Amino acid sequence: MGALNTKFGGGDKRKLTAQVLILGLNHSGKTTIFFTMRDKHNIFTIPAIGFNSETFITANGVSMRVCDLGNYKKVKPTWKDYFQESIGCFFVVDSTDEFRLDEAAQELHGILEDDSMRGVPVVVIANKQDLPNAITCTDLVQKLNLEKLSKTQNKWFIQSACALTGEGIYEAMEQMGKMVKENQK
């Protein structure tokens, strides 16, 4: 499992700093979600060719260094370099792209089968839920075979979201903070 830095601020407040990855298929909305987390509003983005990194603090005291990793042929092989230091993963799914859900499921389960990612909590962000043809979170649980994760050490949660409006993004961050904190007990 990845590293966790514990910092003590003023008083008895304990703040955790954790590296959390944003992964998923290309065009799922990873970079838009990253910038929505950072800027708290919608901005025009282009797909990440490399990676973006920023530290965010959740309301429950977890400081997350979030790394948005691109999913291009030259960048994807470097993902494993980030696994070892990570203690959380946002996995972004384009809820409107039914044709690529099998590929998304294989990608997610392949990531979590890596030794460095075993036991790492996952928040699946079901992006683009604002669109009329979006697949519901209930159906995504089945199509992504998330129930299989219940048999592993990986805790998971699925969050309905719209990266463009920010809907569900902060809830996903809070859930990740909660899961990371629980995982460290």
Q: Could you state, in order of their start, the residue ranges of all structural domains in the chain?
A: 4-183
Q: Is 129 annotated as a binding residue?
A: yes
For the stretch 115-139, pLDDT in tens is 999 899 999 999 999 999 999 999 9
Question: What average pLDDT is seen over the chain?
Answer: 82
For the cut 60, the answer to whether the pLDDT of residue 11 exceeds it is no
For the cut 60, the answer to whether the pLDDT of residue 149 exceeds it is yes
Q: Is 128 annotated as a binding residue?
A: yes
Q: Is 16 annotated as a binding residue?
A: no
* Full-model pTM: 0.85
Number of Cβ atoms within 10 Å of the Cβ of 78: 12
State the pLDDT confidence band at 79, using cuts at 50, 70 and 90: confident
Q: Is 166 annotated as a binding residue?
A: no
Domain 4-183 fold: Rossmann fold (3.40.50)
Q: Is 168 annotated as a binding residue?
A: no
Q: Is 127 annotated as a binding residue?
A: yes
Which residue, chain included where needed, has tokens 């370099």? 81
For the stretch 28-77, pLDDT in tens is 998 888 888 877 655 555 554 556 667 776 767 778 888 888 765 656 66
